[in-house]
Amino acid sequence: MLVCGATAARVSLAFRRQNGGSLIEMAFVGGTVVTILMALMQVSLALFSYDYVSNAARTASRYAMVRGADSCTNTPNLSNCNATAAEIQSYVQGLNYPGIDSANLTVTTTWLSASSTTPTTWTACADQCNAPGNQVKVVVSYPFPFDIPFLSQSTLTMTSTSQMIIAQ
């Protein structure tokens, strides 16, 4: 009987020594799972930011395309006729998407004139040449702070370009 009791004590002692092992394993697995979840959220926010930047560029080029040199004549009730680069930047920064710091947005507007030869080539104007038939090019950039726990923080610059021919 004494042998059985000693064996039971050894088995019980072996189980007691392994009780903390699951706690340590849980700490490693939990840290890994939290890091993966945070990375997934950061990638989702980055995709949202890129979608915003591309949509903002497209919306800004449409805004500029409708507000060309003849826009006040063709549409008398249109606001901000003959839109300038500053007005286009102000328009994009006023879109106010959630999670986007509009003060960090960079909007660059360029007007291009069409050549008279075929195929048509586009050259940048020295000044704002927003007559119908010319082209407006809007580039929107946004620095996205990409931060995942346990990894170095970096900044991804999201950039999108949109071009449209001025209608009026």
Q: Is the dihedral of CA 79, 85, 90, 96 positive or negative?
A: positive
Q: What is the pLDDT of residue 128?
A: 78
Residue 6 has a pLDDT of 61
- H or E stretch at 163: strand 154-165
Q: Output b/e per residue, 78-114; b: 16+ Cβ within 10 A.
A: eebbebebebbbebbbeeeeeebeeeebebebbbbbe
Q: Kindly tell me the burial class for residue 17, based on how many C-beta atoms sit within 10 Å of its own C-beta (0-12, 13-18, 19 or more).
A: exposed
pLDDT of residue 7: 65
Q: What is the pLDDT of residue 73?
A: 76
Res 92: pLDDT: 93
Residue-by-residue pLDDT tens, the chain, 168 positions: 455 656 666 656 555 666 677 778 888 898 889 889 988 999 999 999 999 999 999 999 999 998 888 877 777 777 778 888 999 999 999 998 888 898 999 999 999 998 888 888 889 987 878 888 899 999 999 999 888 777 778 899 999 999 999 887
Distance CA 141, CA 108 (A): 9
pLDDT recorded at residue 88: 93
